[in-house]
Amino acid sequence: MGEKCKPDSQELYKLWSTDDFFDCDTRNELKKIAGDAAEIEERFYKYLEFGTAGLRGIMGAGTNRMNIYTVSLASEAFARYIDSLSAEQKQRGLVISYDSRHNSLDFAKKSALVFAKHGIPVRLVDELRPTPMLSFAVRYYNCIGGVMITASHNPAKYNGYKAYGEDGGQMPPEAADVIMREMAGIEDVRTLQWLDETTAVAQGLLTYVGRDLDTAFQNMLLQVQIDKDVVKRHKDLKIVYTPLCGCGNKPVNRILKAIGFENVITVPEEEKPDGDFASIPYPNPEEACAWVRAIKLANKVDADLVIATDPDSDRTGLLVKKTDGTYQILSGNQIGLLLMEYILSAKVATKSLAPDSFVVTTIVSTALAEKIAASYGVKCFLTLTGFKYIGEKIKQYHETGLAHFVFGFEESFGFLAETEVRDKDAVVACMLISEMAAKAADSHKTVNDLLQDLFRKYGYGTEKVFSLVREGIQGQKQIAGAMAALRADETKLKFPDLQIVAVEDYLSGTVKNCLTGEVKALDMPVKSDVLRFKFANNTDFVAIRPSGTEPKLKVYCAAYAESESDSRAKAELMAEVMHKTLDGIM
**Catalytic residue annotation:** 152
- CA of 561: how far to CAs of 362, 486, 571, in Å? 21, 27, 10
- Is the Cβ–Cβ distance between 542 and 576 less than 8 Å? no
∠ CA 456-459-461, rounded to 5°: 120
What's the start-to-end Cα distance of the chain, in Å? 26
How are strands ordered across the β-sheet holding 510-513? 460-469, 552-561, 541-546, 531-535, 500-505, 510-513, 519-521
Check the CA dihedral 29-159-174-477 and report its sign: positive
Secondary structure percentages of the chain, helix, strand, coil, to 5 = 45, 20, 35
* Residue 103: CA count within 13 A, CB half-sphere: 22
Query: Across 166-278, where does the E strand assignment appear?
Result: 206-209, 239-242, 264-266
Q: CA nearest 230: which of 438, 450, 440?
A: 438
What's at 197, amino acid-wise?
A: E
Give the whole-angstrom CA distance, residue 189 versus residue 72. 9
Give the whole-angstrom CA distance, residue 422 versus residue 403. 16
Q: What are the phi and psi torsion angles at 545 (to 5°)?
A: -160, 145
How are strands ordered across the β-sheet holding 316-321? 264-266, 239-242, 305-309, 316-321, 327-329
Q: Where are the alpha helices (DSSP H) in 443-563?
A: 447-458, 472-488
- Is the Cβ–Cβ distance between 352 and 406 less than 8 Å? no
